[in-house]
Structure 1
């Protein structure tokens, strides 16, 4: 029985017309029902009038005309109700026709937009981007599908160099337009056409620029294995709320700005990421209840800058990270209730600076790390209730 009901539900899924009985069944059944109802009403009315007439002194005979009038009146009311039901049935059928027409039109628009995205000419691809974005606004049931297609476009192989064999004229402008369309739909959470909370998958995409500033990322977002090449990807002032932000195994050769961004809860993963001359700025960013991880990351050049950032009630993991060059700055940052963990990391070069950092009510550990070169500095840092395991590094307070 459960399987049968499930199959019925699956069969009706996507239908816009209600399941209605055939007329050749409904008509005779309705006539029989009307006859039975009329007889029952007549009998009830007759008994009612007979009881009323019998209670009078002297007793009076039942006026059959009154009984018939009462029966007709009740049947008229029943007929009015049935007429309303019939009108409602016609409305459902009309709405079903309209929904089918809309669905067919939306499907045609989707096909056209997808074909435009695959066109050789950049101008046609641009038209496809805007057409698909407009379709996502109009087709809420398939909005995620439209977003997935735009994200998939950014995951396609891309050569920004004019001399590269796979370079396509105008492709950079098309890709920037896709990013801008996504950003525009992430500005207002309350808008009917908002894409906040939807999944964004940029796994393996190549970014040589792009503006996500001021966006609200409320759903899962993946930049796993992405390449941030030359150019600037801008997340300034963006808000990341509770979802998982995945930059694992990404490569940073360009600039990524999270300046003044807000991270509320969730996990921000840079696990196994490679920093090869790129600069990632978290200056002035706010982390509240978030877990920020750089497990097994490799920092060979460039900078990760947390200057003046605020990290509260969360965790910061740099476990088993390799520092062989570049700079990681926490200068003037505030750690409050943060578990900072640099255990089992390898320091062979570069600089990690906590100058003027305020560390309060948390922990910080360099246990089992290896110091073969480079510098870890705590110049004028303030420790207020933070428990620190210095590992291979000297305690500045003992100097």
Structure 2
């Protein structure tokens, strides 16, 4: 009967090297040592004889002493190499044990996240976050798992068949956990600069207050904001990108109030606003870009009330406003660009009321205004530029009531009024001689202040 020899399973990762059998290594080693000793003995004899020409011949005892000393040194070196090899093997075993333990923790946390009971899923959230802190090499993987959970189908209607009790709290906990790891970029367990992928997630709340976005990509592409409050208040945006491209805002509030933009990009391009509010009130813009390019507004509000624009850009290029409100009430524009180039205003309002423009540019170039209102009520232009170049005014209202044009440039150069129907309200407008104005097709309003 043949006895099949079982092969040991291959070890994964770092492993102990294959060793030669002792019955082969021992005689080979003895032969090599004997040859080395023989060579050393005769070599030492020849060396010592050459060093002592014409003198008494070197005794065999002296040769043996030198040979033994040399062999001892060789043995010490070999012992050191053996000890070093043994240390490497011990470290390899330790690494394998650590890797196995981390892998087991990962598997357990992932199983908890898939459990039916919300309490167990919550435990899985905390377990995965702790694992991310301990496992730096796979930290992004652990973060990806938590983000993937938020991308899973989520039913917010308590009366729906797919509704899961406690699921909202699990999701809010994940977001709070991510926020807690975005507070200090210098922390050893910081997740700042990591990619956070919420693509297509359904969000009815979440807290990113005081988060530091210093790099990486945070994406809410095609996410659905259906209600509740998602807050980025007091957050710092100094690099990277926060991407809301194609997101749906049907209710609730996304709050960036008192946030600081010193770099990076927040991108709402192609987003759809049918309800709810995106709030940038009292926000500081000293760099970076906020883009609403090709966004669609049929309801809801985007609010830049009392924001301060010192540099950077806010762009509404080719946006469509057929409802809703974009407001800059009380904002200060002193070194930035706000541009609605190519936008279509067929309803709703762009409110620039009580805006102070002392530098920078407010551009409404190539805009089609067929209805709705662009309001400058109470605004003050003391520098910078406001342009309606090549804009088509075929309806709606331009309201300059109580506006002060003290300095800078206001131009409607190239604008057209096909079929009229546009209302221009210039009640109590104050125009200083220092302000350069090109009224284009609009009725000229004479200077009424020295």
Contact preservation (8 Å) 2:356, 2:379: no
Contact preservation (8 Å) 1:292, 1:316: yes
Change in 2 beyond 3 A, CA 1:45/1:389: farther
Matched, 1:131 2:130: no
Following TM superposition, by how much is the alpha carbon of 1:373 offset from its aligned partner in structure 2, in angstroms?
1.9
User: Runs of 5+ in structure 2 lacking a partner?
Assistant: 1-9, 399-409, 411-428, 432-436, 438-444, 446-450
Deviations 1:226-254 (A, max 9, x none): 11121111111112232121101111221
Number of positions where the alignment pairs a residue of Structure 1 with one of Structure 2: 385
Of the three residues 232, 245, 248, the one matched with 1:235 is 232
Partner of 2:261: 263
Following TM superposition, by how much is the alpha carbon of 1:281 offset from its aligned partner in structure 2, in angstroms?
1.2
Partner of 2:441: none
Partner of 1:216: 212
The within-5 A match list for 1:1-399 is 15-17=13-15, 19=17, 22=20, 34-35=33-34, 37-39=36-38, 41-54=40-53, 59-217=55-213, 218-252=215-249, 253-359=251-357, 362-378=360-376, 379-386=378-385, 388-390=387-389, 391-392=391-392, 395=410, 399=445
Between 1:286-295 and 1:317-326, the stretch displaced more is 286-295
User: Runs of 5+ in structure 1 lacking a partner?
Assistant: 1-11
Is the helix fraction higher in 1 or 2? 1
Q: Which has the higher contact order (CA 8 A, sep 6+)?
A: 1
Is the strand fraction higher in 1 or 2? 2
Contact preservation (8 Å) 2:366, 2:388: no
The CA RMSD over aligned residues, in Å, is: 2.7
Following TM superposition, by how much is the alpha carbon of 1:265 offset from its aligned partner in structure 2, in angstroms?
2.4
TM-score (norm 1): 0.87
Q: Supply the distance in 1 between the matched residues of 2:211 and 2:17 (Cα, whole angstroms).
A: 44
Contact preservation (8 Å) 2:367, 2:388: no
Between 1:302-311 and 1:21-30, the stretch displaced more is 21-30
Q: 3-state DSSP class of the match of 1:243?
A: strand
Contact preservation (8 Å) 1:16, 1:95: no
Contact preservation (8 Å) 2:349, 2:373: yes
Q: 3-state DSSP class of the match of 2:242?
A: strand
Q: 3-state DSSP class of the match of 2:216?
A: coil
Following TM superposition, by how much is the alpha carbon of 1:152 offset from its aligned partner in structure 2, in angstroms?
0.9
Q: Supply the distance in 1 between the matched residues of 2:337 and 2:387 (Cα, whole angstroms).
A: 10
Change in 2 beyond 3 A, CA 1:44/1:191: farther
Change in 2 beyond 3 A, CA 1:342/1:75: same
Between 1:198-207 and 1:348-357, the stretch displaced more is 348-357
Q: 3-state DSSP class of the match of 1:278?
A: strand
Following TM superposition, by how much is the alpha carbon of 1:40 offset from its aligned partner in structure 2, in angstroms?
5.0
Contact preservation (8 Å) 1:366, 1:392: no
Q: Supply the distance in 2 between the matched residues of 1:308 and 1:72 (Cα, whole angstroms).
A: 89
Q: Supply the distance in 2 between the matched residues of 1:67 and 1:182 (Cα, whole angstroms).
A: 74
Following TM superposition, by how much is the alpha carbon of 1:176 offset from its aligned partner in structure 2, in angstroms?
1.0
TM-score (norm 2): 0.78
Q: Supply the distance in 1 between the matched residues of 2:36 and 2:331 (Cα, whole angstroms).
A: 82
Partner of 1:6: none
Change in 2 beyond 3 A, CA 1:68/1:272: same
Decide which structure has the larger Cα Rg and report it.
2
Q: Supply the distance in 2 between the matched residues of 1:13 and 1:260 (Cα, whole angstroms).
A: 55
Following TM superposition, by how much is the alpha carbon of 1:29 offset from its aligned partner in structure 2, in angstroms?
6.5
Change in 2 beyond 3 A, CA 1:28/1:17: farther
Contact preservation (8 Å) 1:364, 1:388: yes
Q: 3-state DSSP class of the match of 2:372?
A: strand
Q: Supply the distance in 2 between the matched residues of 1:282 and 1:215 (Cα, whole angstroms).
A: 16
Following TM superposition, by how much is the alpha carbon of 1:32 offset from its aligned partner in structure 2, in angstroms?
5.8
Q: Supply the distance in 2 between the matched residues of 1:385 and 1:44 (Cα, whole angstroms).
A: 92
